[in-house]
Structure 1
Amino acid sequence: MKSELIVDVQPKEVSIALLEDSRLVSLQKESRNIAYAVGDIYLAKVKKLMPGLNAAFVNVGYEKDAFLHYLDLGSSFASYSTFLKQALDDRKHQPSLPKMKLKPDIDKHGQITDVLQPGQELMVQIVKEPISSKGPRLTTEITLTGRYMVLIPFGDKISVSQKIKTSEEKIRLRRLIESIRPKNFSIIIRTSAEGKRVTELNHELRTLLQCWEDTVARAQCATAPALIFEEESRIVGVLRDIFNPDFESIHVNDPDVYSQISKYVNLIAPDRSSIVQLYQKPEPIFDHFGITRQIKSSFGKTVSFKSGAYIIIEHTEALHVIDVNSGNRSKAAADQETNALEVNMRAADEIARQLRLRDMGGIIVIDFIDMAKSEHRQKLYEHMREIMATDRARHNILPLSKFGLMQITRQRVRPALDITTAEECPSCFGKGKVQPSLLFTDLLREKIDYLVDELKQTGFTMYVHPFVDAYLKKGLISTFRRWRMETGKKFNVRPDQSLAYLQYRVLDAKGNEIDLKEEKDIDSSATKSKSKAKNRGNED
């Protein structure tokens, strides 16, 4: 399977697309100024205890208080609490965890009021980003993740990934880690550690230990609430989690991010550093790799797949509901039962892809087409388990009920990616009436004159819908060429598939977007409404 990673860096956000055999299977969008991301560690303060929920609300600086349940304190909370108290009481000297004697585990069935009190300072880690009206979810069981291992302070265990199949390799890794593991630290050995030498593993372990010491040092210097450890960029995080030898290429359109990714790949796989490539073509990177078209066709409420069948995806606060429909299939089987099985199997493939693509989590209920035969229902259940095996998020799949419903629970740590594919009219801005399409080129010419004469811009690029781009450049002496000759300035017009038909955007020579929306474009309808209301008032 050919795997490619495409990174689109824009001024306000970064989009990361994972392609398998040129088919989009994962898309992540990240604001460039994101806060409270999974993995970030904060020095926080307990604000309120909720004995009824056996939880506490904690101030981490977010607009809504974060949630910390008793079970998220971790079994080693007594040792953690003692260590943190020593660190915060004497802020000039950092206590040594390996020299500390660990305390007994806390009671699994204890109460939050027994271990926490309002105003207490804690070192907490984000395990679930703010979703909808909820604040972040926290844990005090700190984990520091590397490519080959996960370091967990206040423990004394070594765990090996179940995906490492051979018992010989598990024994080798366990013995190797035991020989280099510092006291009072637990370690989870990840799948990517398989076959690695002691020097590579020891180097990463020392790096993670340094991260821990730096985090404690920042906590000693900080005043709660404060960020004391920031998870590495989402791009590097994605690489860390999914990078494998099958990766054929990583394309990125920003020199700084390209340098960052190249440095990371060169660190973890020097022999694969050549797969990182800087994309420098004028065409938008997502258009070039066919991702924009796939996004438009995959993120709507209705998603079609083979032979006319389709699924309908609805989102609610509590769960996601997916309905499978056969539609007008062109190659339907002779009998209804076989046809239902075939549609359901293909729908399962698409649903598994959609769960990864949209990062849907929580409870997912799927209404498959009814099948009378129990062996067909069992076959569909086993097929869904098989294709979901590659999904890295933790999940659980239940067999079909007698009503043809399948229930799936899937780990949710971030909001589901919900992209609106319906386009707001860029000409009327929702007012219901548009300017004549024939005059759109006149509008573009006005904007170009404004850019050249008023803003003194040169070398800028105007992006338009591909149809408009084709119209502007048709003929020997095209409209575009005539505009360049008349203005006497150098500028470019490029197609962008993400734009609506009568939409445009402009980037200056440095790649910064120029806002050309005039007040009259947006507020003309509101102005008219106010004028009418005023006239009525005068008449009264």
Structure 2
Amino acid sequence: MLNGRTDDLPEDFEDDGPQPALPGQPSLALPRADEDIDLDALDEAVNGNRIQPRKPARQQDRRNDRKGRRESRPESRQDARADAELPREPELSDERGKKSREEQAAAPSLPAGTRRVLYVSVVPDEQAEVVITDNGQVAEYFVEMAHQAKIRGNIYKGVINNVDINLQAAFVNFGSGKNGFLQIDEVHPEYWLNHHDSSKGPKYPPIQKVLRNGQEVLVQVVKEPAGTKGAFLTTWISLAGRYLVLTPGQEQIGVSRKVEDSEERARLKELLAGIEPGEDMGVIIRTASEGASKTSIQKDLQYLKRLWKDIRRKGMTEKAPCLIYQEADLAARAVRDYLAEDIHEIWVDDEATQAAIRETTNLLFPRRTEMVKLHQDPRQTLWERFNLQRQLEEVTSREVVLPSGGRLVFDQTEALMAIDINSGKTQGKSNFESMVFRTNMEAAEAIARHLRLRDIGGQVVIDFIEMRDRNHCREVEKTLRNAMRLDRARHDVGRMSSFGLLELVRQRTGTSAISISTEPCPFCHGTGVRRNMEWQALQTLREIQRKLSRLSAQENRKKGGDRNGDKPAVLVYDADFELGLYLLNKKRDRLGELESKYNAHVEIHLKH
């Protein structure tokens, strides 16, 4: 029995009674899956747990969403969890309800006729790359490497090592290197050791009164460790399936805000009317559920409930700290989250990966048996075969060339990402304004695409070429906003100033291909510049002169003692290869003068 109701339950649901809960977790009554349903196939091939990036929304939408949130759920959790909030549903009039879908203000979508292809390139047990193209242009790019395995989305059983009163946070040992960071607003009330009434005081209690050292908690990684900082953790668990997101401990039922088609939202809400996730549990219907049948959604719900039941059981028996549930690999996540009707083909260059992906596609699209294809040409890579190599190299390049001949220049600073736009060639004054407008329009499209490909987060400042016509400025702003609508990450685009500057902020969705595959230069240490050879040579000559002066003083103190004549002293100086050659070729005369002055011999040793 779920929530005391039995009339709306599907026929294949059976009540197996209340289940034991983890320490600090609510006791839930989960239904048992019917043995006739092939849940194992879904388990292995389709579903997994992934925290999706927050979908873009207007400022008013976000304000409306906050009003409808449950008081017991932390607000910061809403900003970090995708598809995990209830959107404010607009009221539909009868007249609007009669309109066709084509007449509705549809969700951000690709133009009609766009051919989308998914590519997966794998180095077994080492690396995986996933690329999605729209008509041959790279639209999405993801990379994972074994030496930088991602833990985001994983669920662990951890132990609180330290409760910091000043930070109002706990540091949790969850068995993965550095301790994780758990804020008080990320702690489910069921873990509180003492009762707190938010109506009579602050929303959250002092962390030292509700948590203690040595307490065991079930946590999920929200943000990867970065530098010296540990992973960001939460106890608000979410399990993402193909069509649904299950949220244990949160009673909410809703539709992902990215499903903006009014008729489709209404249809999905009707499907939700017959879904009972269970006591103290909630579900969010994901974007991928558009067009899905009620049976498919019910199967996904059953799978997620069984998955949560297994996680909870394992959390009770395993000794902390330990891994309870591991997120699927990149290839499996890409198929789960991006495979839809608009994907025409899937190309893979690894047979084992092809078999796993084909198993998934056969379940989801049984009539499209030939959509997964294997690249077997040893003479060229998968990227070379489909002319994608140059586009992928652009992702890590500082400059991007536009079709009209203009260039985008990306410069990352500590505070923000600066993007400069340089114009192409022009012929005469009469064509200058049209050239500027064309270049800025191309730049707006390209910038939105590269923000996704590079996963640039934080503040971004774009220096557009200055335009005199205000209509052109508004057109460029509109083009940028429309291009940004395809971005899965939360973002906010400002307006262009009189100087041609436009600011926007974007939420980073994960670990980008750039951060995974690059490292700071050992010479410039990430600044992009270094001292030139002349400056380095002059500083080296100063250092050599100081050492010769010190060596000469030592030799002078030894005069009158047991010395072997006036044999010149020898100074050995180790220099980098490039600097050493410069000294020997360009500063030989100056070295000779120093040798004569201090009656010494200087040897330059080249370091390789």
Normalized against structure 1, the TM-score is what? 0.69
Q: Distance in 2 between matches of 1:168 and 1:304?
A: 42
Go from structure 1 to structure 2 and tell me whether the alpha carbon gap of 1:191 and 1:380 turns closer, same or farther (over 3 Å shift).
same
Q: Deviations over 1:19-59 (max 9, x none)?
A: 11111122111124654432111112223333333333322
Q: Distance in 2 between matches of 1:272 and 1:131?
A: 41
Q: Distance in 2 between matches of 1:421 and 1:341?
A: 36
Q: Unpaired segments of 5 or more residues in structure 1?
A: 86-102, 425-524, 530-534
Q: Distance in 2 between matches of 1:369 and 1:279?
A: 43
Secondary structure in structure 2 of the residue aligned to 1:67: strand
Q: Is residue 2:421 matched to residue 1:307?
A: no
1:158 and 1:174 in contact (8 A); partners too: no
Q: Is residue 2:382 matched to residue 1:323?
A: no
Compute the displacement of 1:364 (Å): 1.9
Q: Distance in 2 between matches of 1:245 and 1:273?
A: 13
Moved more, 140-149 or 115-124: 115-124
Q: Is residue 2:135 matched to residue 1:21?
A: yes
Aligned equivalent of 2:302: 206
Compute the displacement of 1:151 (Å): 0.4
Q: Deviations over 1:300-320 (max 9, x none)?
A: 111111222101111234432
Q: Distance in 2 between matches of 1:81 and 1:269?
A: 46
Q: Aligned pair count?
A: 410
Alignment of 1:499-510 (within 5 A): none
Alignment of 1:490-529 (within 5 A): none
Q: Distance in 2 between matches of 1:224 and 1:412?
A: 31
Alignment of 1:453-492 (within 5 A): none
Q: What amino acid is the match of 1:286?
A: W
| Identity across matched positions, percent | 34
Q: Is residue 2:176 matched to residue 1:62?
A: yes
Q: Distance in 2 between matches of 1:421 and 1:130?
A: 16
Q: Is residue 2:127 matched to residue 1:31?
A: no
Q: Is residue 2:468 matched to residue 1:354?
A: no
1:46 and 1:120 in contact (8 A); partners too: yes
Q: Deviations over 1:143-178 (max 9, x none)?
A: 000111100001221111234345454344334334
Q: Distance in 2 between matches of 1:281 and 1:399?
A: 49
1:6 and 1:17 in contact (8 A); partners too: yes
Match of 2:229 among 134, 138, 141: 134
Go from structure 1 to structure 2 and tell me whether the alpha carbon gap of 1:49 and 1:273 turns closer, same or farther (over 3 Å shift).
farther
Aligned equivalent of 1:295: 392
Aligned equivalent of 1:379: 475
Aligned equivalent of 2:318: 222
Compute the displacement of 1:71 (Å): 2.9
Aligned equivalent of 1:241: 337
Compute the displacement of 1:332 (Å): 7.7
Compute the displacement of 1:373 (Å): 4.0
Compute the displacement of 1:420 (Å): 5.8
Q: Is residue 2:156 matched to residue 1:42?
A: yes
Q: Is residue 2:360 matched to residue 1:261?
A: no
Aligned equivalent of 1:145: 240
Q: Distance in 2 between matches of 1:159 and 1:146?
A: 15
2:464 and 2:500 in contact (8 A); partners too: yes
Match of 1:5 among 118, 125, 134: 118
Q: What amino acid is the match of 1:385?
A: R
Secondary structure in structure 1 of the residue aligned to 2:462: strand
2:348 and 2:375 in contact (8 A); partners too: yes
Q: What amino acid is the match of 1:321?
A: A
Go from structure 1 to structure 2 and tell me whether the alpha carbon gap of 1:370 and 1:330 turns closer, same or farther (over 3 Å shift).
closer
Moved more, 260-269 or 396-405: 396-405
Compute the displacement of 1:121 (Å): 1.7
Moved more, 329-338 or 202-211: 329-338
Go from structure 1 to structure 2 and tell me whether the alpha carbon gap of 1:56 and 1:406 turns closer, same or farther (over 3 Å shift).
farther
Q: Unpaired segments of 5 or more residues in structure 2?
A: 1-113, 523-576, 582-601
Q: Deviations over 1:380-415 (max 9, x none)?
A: 222111011111122221222343322222221423
Compute the displacement of 1:231 (Å): 1.3
Secondary structure in structure 1 of the residue aligned to 2:450: helix
Alignment of 1:89-104 (within 5 A): none
Q: Is residue 2:236 matched to residue 1:122?
A: no
Aligned equivalent of 1:155: 250
Q: Distance in 2 between matches of 1:422 and 1:290?
A: 29
Q: Distance in 2 between matches of 1:205 and 1:137?
A: 27
Go from structure 1 to structure 2 and tell me whether the alpha carbon gap of 1:304 and 1:223 turns closer, same or farther (over 3 Å shift).
same
Aligned equivalent of 1:274: 370
Cα RMSD of the aligned pairs, angstroms, is 3.3
Q: Deviations over 1:96-140 (max 9, x none)?
A: xxxxxxx99996454433432333221111111223443221221
Secondary structure in structure 1 of the residue aligned to 2:513: coil
Match of 1:363 among 459, 479, 482: 459
Secondary structure in structure 1 of the residue aligned to 2:495: coil
Q: What amino acid is the match of 1:162?
A: R
Moved more, 373-382 or 278-287: 373-382
2:219 and 2:235 in contact (8 A); partners too: yes
